[in-house]
Amino acid sequence: MIVGEQKPIAEIKAIVKPYKKLLILGCGTCVKTCFAGGEDEVAVLASALRLSFKKDGKAIDIAEYTIERQCENEFIQEAAKVIAQNDSVLSLACGAGVQAIARRFAKIPVLPGVNTTFLGVLERQGFFTEECTGCGNCVLGIFGGICPITRCAKKLLNGPCGGSQKGYCEIKAETECAWHLIIDRSKSLGQLNNLTTYVPPKDWRSSNSGGPRRLVREDHII
């Protein structure tokens, strides 16, 4: 899922200050799971902003609405009416959701309320870890299902740097060395041999380094 965290309230206040009718728009999928932008977070943020602006003596009308996903037209359409009733939208979706809303409502400013951080997993309650940087050409099959591109600080493809300490990365002491994990896991899978083959430098054109990407599924185009 996409992991993000809500921006500090002071920053949000500064972003929405110029507007008189604000819709806080939540997203019920990834950002809900990481407690950044689901229905509950919309309600808490709306109350906090109302109180704070009241204290400042600023009149602002704040509405709340949450859709299942801000990155899909089908759901965006559900919010069209409520969006049209406001002069601005504070989206609590990831950056993709914010832009998906913005491109469909040309005359309404759509502002980000969340800092989109990474693609990750919920490791345990309240603890999210980054697992994938969307390189566009997945090589997990070689590395026992552990991504050296995302989880090794140096993105090494042909073995560890030699700097790890007791299984932890020399760059970030609280992070497990990806190569330590890759070797342990490959051993337990009986796939250590996978690691003896030279892996050539990655072609980064399939990643975001080649510019924004598109995925076309001809079989789903109507």
Cβ–Cβ contacts within 10 Å for residue 27, how many? 32
Query: What tokens does 72 get?
Result: 């899909």
- In whole angstroms, how close is the CB of 214 to ligand SF4 at the nearest point? 16
Distance in angstroms (rounded) separating the CA atoms of residues 206 and 137: 7
CB 203 to ligand SF4: min, Å: 12
**Angle between the 95-104 and 73-84 helix axes, to the nearest 10 degrees?**
60
Comparing CB distances to ligand SF4, the nearer of 51 and 139 is 139
Report the alpha-carbon distance of residue 99 to residue 4 in Å, rounded. 15
Tokens of 124: 């345990």
| Least Cβ distance, residue 151 to ligand SF4 (angstroms) | 7
User: For tokens 């932890």, what's the residue?
Assistant: 168
When the beta carbons of 166 and 217 are compared against ligand SF4, the nearer one is 166
14 or 171: CB nearest ligand SF4: 171
Q: Which is nearer to ligand SF4, 43 or 132 (CB)?
A: 132
Distance CA 50, CA 168 (A): 45
Least gap, CB of 209 to ligand SF4 (angstroms): 12
Judged by beta carbon, residue 65 or residue 179, the one nearer ligand SF4 is 179
CB atoms within 10 A of CB 15: 17
Least distance in angstroms from the C-beta of 74 to ligand SF4: 27
Mapped onto helix, strand or coil, the DSSP state of residue 205 is helix
| Contact residues: ligand SF4, CB under 6 A | 132-135, 138-140, 147, 149-150, 152-154, 156, 160-161, 163-164, 169-171, 177-179
